[in-house]
Amino acid sequence: MKRVYMDHASATPVKKAVIETMLPYFDRHFGNPSTVYDMGHEIKKVIEEQREKVARLIGAKPGQIIFTSSGAEANNLAIKGTVFARQKKGNHIIISAIEHHSVLNSARFFERMDYEVTFLPVNKYGLVDPERLRDAIRPETVLVSIMHANNEIGTIEPITELSAICREKGVVFHTDAVATVGNIPVDVNELGVDLLTLSGVSLGAPKGVGALYFKERLRLMPLIHGGIQENGRRGGTENVPAIVGLGKAAEIATEELEGNETRMRELKGRLVAGIHERIEQVKYTGHPENRLPGHASFCIGSIEGEALIYMLNQHGIYANTGSACASKALKTSPVLVAIGVPPELAQGSIVFTMNSENTMDDVEHVLDKLPLVAARLRELSPVWNQH
């Protein structure tokens, strides 16, 4: 049976070149980078080389990169580290209504500590209005966090405009760029952000590694206290093999980004057109043009998303019905609610996320099987039968 994997927003396979680069750091080059003898010095040098590669991918300086265990940890460090460091300035945080759970729940953590959090609404495409942000900022606002792109609906936010407003107001601006780094060009200087999160799982690196970019002279309170690792910003012995994997994946992404982006747009265009041609009552979610190149998300009327994913699985097709961090909760997606999708339609959500390993044959396989699965589920649907 043909297998088609289109859930790269939740996990990507580790590239072969990345695995090969990592292997020596499990057994041959295993020294602790904090030791004073030559084995430690060699490993410390390797870590700094990976820092340079990650920095190059996003237009940063190596000293502005902190390695973490994941994108979620990087988001926590950005938000909690900034807010704790600026306690005397104010007690107000602004985030969008469609942030990743690691951002949403970090903000809610501060709500329990008597901070006030403003959840900025988005329009029907999932876009934050810069003027709404301007109006929401107060003298006591210490942080704004708005993601670069949403991995459930694919919409890319106007980060350059949003960060400029925060810079004008003297407010720290963070963006969760896990969905964009490696998929589209990302330059922290062009975006004008103070903090930016990225993750290895989206780059073809192993799970369990991420990074946080931070602007020079920005104060961050560490969340993990320990030794002098990461210049005192994150304690604990570094996960050297994973960091080496992230560095190699960043190097590959830097070289292949432009070609991959063009291919992804072609695959997405064919998938979107084919689904609209073959299935009725389908809503394309997110912005129609200003979105991630390999991302296609839909709500299919009179169908339950979990059942749809399960039945596609029987045909060797792997997609998702929303964010990988929320899809098992069996609740209406807060992202779809935020963009105004009716709850009964939101239940039929399906998200396809492609990367460089996908082909046009994969797309045609989905277009062959998805209409059959949708038709079968609608035969069983009392809602559709009343249609």
Q: Which of 85, 307, 325, 367 is catalytic?
A: 325
Q: What are phi and psi of 194, to 5 degrees?
A: -90, -30
CATH of the domain at 64: 3.40.640.10
217 and 289 together in one domain: no
pLDDT at 238: 93
Which range, 74-83, 231-240, 300-309, is most confident? Answer: 74-83
Helix ranges, 96-144 (H):
101-111, 130-136
Residue 328 has pLDDT above 80, yes or no: no
340 and 263 together in one domain: yes
DSSP state of 231: G
Give the model's confidence band at 168: pLDDT under 50 very low, under 70 low, under 90 confident, else very high. very high
Give the model's confidence band at 330: pLDDT under 50 very low, under 70 low, under 90 confident, else very high. low
Q: Of 32-41, 51-60, 91-100, which gets the smallest average pLDDT?
A: 32-41
**Whether residue 325 lies in the annotated active site:** yes
175 and 139 together in one domain: yes
Residue 29 has pLDDT above 60, yes or no: yes
Close Cβ partners of 184 (under 8 Å, ≥ 6 residues apart): 149, 156, 257, 261, 292, 293
pLDDT at 386: 64
- Among 252, 272, 305, the domain boundary falls at 252
82 and 162 together in one domain: yes
* Angle (nearest 5°) at CA 21 between 224 and 47: 35
223 and 282 together in one domain: no
Q: In sequence order, what are the beta bridge partners of 173?
A: 144
Domain of residue 315 covers: 4-11+257-385
pLDDT at 54: 98
pLDDT at 287: 97
Number of separate domains in the chain: 2
- Among 252, 275, 307, the domain boundary falls at 252
Instruction: Return the beta strands (E) in the chain as ranges.
Output: 4-5, 65-68, 92-96, 116-120, 141-145, 172-176, 195-199, 210-214, 282-284, 295-300, 317-318, 349-353
- Among 201, 221, 252, the domain boundary falls at 252
What mean pLDDT do residues 52-58 have?
98
Give the model's confidence band at 324: pLDDT under 50 very low, under 70 low, under 90 confident, else very high. very low
210 and 346 together in one domain: no
pLDDT at 327: 45
From CA 143, how far away is CA 141, in angstroms rounded?
A: 6
Residue 354 has pLDDT above 60, yes or no: yes
pLDDT at 322: 73
CATH of the domain at 376: 3.90.1150.10
Residue 308 has pLDDT above 70, yes or no: yes
Rg (CA), the chain: 21
Return the HEC string of 69-103.
CCHHHHHHHHHHHHHHHCCCCCCEEEEECCCCHHH
Average pLDDT, the chain: 94
| Length of the chain as a residue count | 387
Model confidence over 195-217: pLDDT tens digits?
999 999 999 999 999 999 999 99
pLDDT over 90, % of the chain? 89
Q: Of 14-23, 31-40, 230-239, 299-308, which gets the smallest average pLDDT?
A: 31-40
Do residues 248 and 22 touch, judged by C-beta distance below 8 A? yes
Give the model's confidence band at 326: pLDDT under 50 very low, under 70 low, under 90 confident, else very high. very low
